[in-house]
Amino acid sequence: GMGLVQEVFTDEKIKTMRGDIAIGHVRYSTTGASRACNSQPLVVFYKGGALALGHNGNLVNANILRDELQDEGYLFQTTIDTEVLAAYIARNIKDGEIEDAIEKTMKIAKGAYALVITSGKKLIGVRDPYGIRPLTLGKTANGYILSSETCGFNLLGAERIRDLEPGEIVTIEGGKVRSRIFDAGRPKKMCSFEYVYFARPDSVMDGRSIYLARHECGINLAKEQPADADVVIAVPDSGNVAAMGYAQQSGIPFGIGLIKNRYIGRTFIQPDQKLRDLSVRLKLNVLRENIEGKKVVMVDDSIVRGTTSGKIVRLLKENGAREVHLRIACPPVTDPCFFGIDTPDKDKLVAASHTVDEMRDMTGADSLGFLSVRGMTDAIGLGDDICTACFTGDYPMELPERTEK
C-alpha cells in the first residue's frame, strides 16, 4: 500500500499474518511512478513455487534487460526495475537452487542494489559488487535479520553481526547462515549520501556511525567555512548533528531556530515543485525568540534543487534574523545519481548550472559555504571506499543508459 507503515498495516491486517519469515520495504520509487502497483516487496510465481523480493537501489541497465524479457514474451505488471530482477531470478531457477539463479542474474544486472528475498524456507540477502547500497546482518533471540539500517535492530533487540560484503549472497535457512561471493575484486564504493542525508543518525553502516560521520562533517565545515555569527541553528532533522559539530568547532552557541512538524515528510521527495513549496511552510516553523536580531549560521545537510533553502532563509529573515549565513555539510550536488537517490536529472540540480555566489543570491543568504569533497570523505572515515559521483561526476561503473540532460 501507499503511505506510512501504520496506515497500511492496520491492527486488523497484522492479526491475519502468520509465518516465521518476512520481508518488508518502506522506500519510495526512484524508477517508475510512485503508485500502489509499484510498491514492494514484489511477489512472482514460477514453475517451482513463488518468491518475494524487496530492492533498494537502481539498475543502470534495467531497460536493456526489460526489452530482452519483453522480446521473449514476458508481460510486466509494474514499471520498476525490481520486477526485472524478480523476473530474471524466476526464469533462471529452473531445477537449480535459488542462490544459483540469483548469482546468474546478478552477473548481468548492473547498478546498485541491496536485496532481501524469501522463497520457500529461505531468507536471502544480496549486496551489489561495489557495496553502494547498505545491507547488514543481525541476530535476534529467535533467528536472524537483514536490514538496510541498523536502527531497526535496536527496536527488535537484535545484535549487529556484520555488514554484507560487496558481491555477497547470504542465505538464512533452518537457523543457519551461509554465504557465497558472486563477484569479488571491485573497488568498494559505499554511497556517501547515505552518511550525509539519507540514513538515520542512530545507524551504523560499514562499521561507521552515521552520527559521528555527520558530527565530523560539521566540524570540518566550521574549519573550512567559518562565519561571524551569534548562533548556529540546524535545518531539522538531517542538519542537526552537523550543526552541533559546527557549533562545537566554531565556539558559536548552538540554538534551536526551526521547529519541525513531525507529520510532514522530506520535501525534496515530494513529486512536484508546488507541493515542495507548500511542504516547507507546513514542515518548519521559526522560533523567533532565538534568532531575532541575531546573525545566524544555518546548517543544512545538502542543497539539491535549491528552492527549499531560499524559502527557509526568507522565513528566518521575516522573523527578524539580522543575517543568515548558510552552511552546507556536503559539497555541491552537481551530478545526477543513477544508483538509488532521487536526483536523476542534471538540469534540476542547482549546483550543476550555478556558481556558489549565484546560489547565495538565489537563496537570499548573506553568505553560502559548502564542505569540500576532501572534508566530507575525511569525516566519513572510509577512505576511498565511498561513491562521490553526485559531487564529482566520477561514477564507479559505466552507465550504459546514461543521457546528459
Beta bridge partners of 139: 144, 159
| Edge-to-edge order in the sheet of strand 323-328 | 231-234, 295-300, 323-328, 367-370
**Mean pLDDT, residues 133-162:** 94
pLDDT at site 322: 98
Q: What is the DSSP letter of 211?
A: H
- 40-54, 114-128, 150-164: which has the minimum mean pLDDT? 40-54
Answer yes or no: are the C-beta atoms of 105 and 89 closer than 8 Å. Answer: yes
Residue 384, pLDDT above cutoff 50: yes
pLDDT band for position 181 (cuts 50, 70, 90): very high
76: nearest Cα among 68, 88, 87: 87
Residue 401, pLDDT above cutoff 60: no
pLDDT at site 115: 96
pLDDT at site 403: 44
Model confidence pLDDT, tens digit, residues 14-39: 899 888 999 999 876 555 556 666 78
- What does each C-alpha distance from 350 to 333, 354, 393 come to in angstroms? 8, 6, 15
pLDDT at site 79: 80
Model confidence pLDDT, tens digit, residues 263-277: 655 544 454 555 655
pLDDT at site 405: 37
Strands 144-147 and 159-163: unpaired
Residue 279, pLDDT above cutoff 80: no
pLDDT at site 340: 84
**Mean pLDDT, residues 56-67:** 91
pLDDT at site 298: 98
Model confidence pLDDT, tens digit, residues 196-209: 999 999 999 999 99
pLDDT at site 243: 98
Q: For residues 164 and 403, which has the higher predicted lDDT (pLDDT)?
A: 164
Model confidence pLDDT, tens digit, residues 307-320: 889 999 999 999 99
Helix (H) or strand (E) holding 204, with range, is strand 204-205
**Mean pLDDT, residues 48-69:** 90
**Mean pLDDT, residues 324-348:** 89
- 53-67, 118-132, 362-376, 389-403: which has the minimum mean pLDDT? 389-403
Residue 257, pLDDT above cutoff 70: yes
pLDDT at site 3: 78
Label residues 22-54 b or e (16+ Cβ within 10 Å = b): ebebeeebbbeeeeeebbbbbebebeeeebbbb
Q: How confident is the prediction for the chain on average, in pLDDT?
A: 90
Q: For residues 307 and 99, which has the higher predicted lDDT (pLDDT)?
A: 99
pLDDT band for position 93 (cuts 50, 70, 90): confident
Q: What percent of the chain has pLDDT over 70?
A: 91
> Could you please report the per-residue DSSP string of 126-191?
EE-TT--S--EEEE-SSSEEEES-THHHHHHTPEEEEEPPTTEEEEEETTEEEEEESS-SSPP-EE
pLDDT at site 81: 86
